[in-house]
Amino acid sequence: MNRLLSRADRPQAVFCATDHMAFGALRDSHIHPQDCWVIGYDDVEMAAWAPFSLTTVRRPSREMARIGARLLIERIHSPGLAPRRVDVPCDLIVREARTWPKSRHLPIVGPRS
């Protein structure tokens, strides 16, 4: 994250594949909060906690599982079916976090390497 943000063409936002990756990006970035948005994906419960207040994408997990199970059953009954794409709408949950607040001592979210 620090290398990415030290580039001359530094991004205005970074989209992380999971909220936990976004927590790590926030924790490890040594920049000012106004410098870059960090956005997660999953909307895990912890993303809403006051110390994090992470902007994230909420995915409809139950709906995705239901669709996946239905497609699997269809494929079992008709093995020759062509693959198809199913789009499932997600919601952007806008919260306050941009970068990790340097003045706070916050818990480590994942294993440190």
One digit per residue, pLDDT tens: the chain, 113 residues? Answer: 878 877 888 787 889 999 999 988 887 665 555 567 889 999 999 999 987 889 999 999 999 999 999 999 999 999 999 988 999 999 999 887 665 444 444 444 444 44
Q: How many CB atoms lie within 10 A of CB 29?
A: 21
Give the separation between CA 73 and CA 75, rounded to whole angstroms: 5
Distance CA 97, CA 64 (A): 27
Residue 83 CB neighbour total at 10 angstroms:
6
Under a CB-based contact definition with an 8 Å cutoff, are residues 95 and 54 in contact? yes
What pLDDT does 18 receive? 95
Q: What is the largest CA-CA distance in the chain?
A: 59
Please state the domain extents for the chain.
2-93
pTM for the whole structure: 0.68
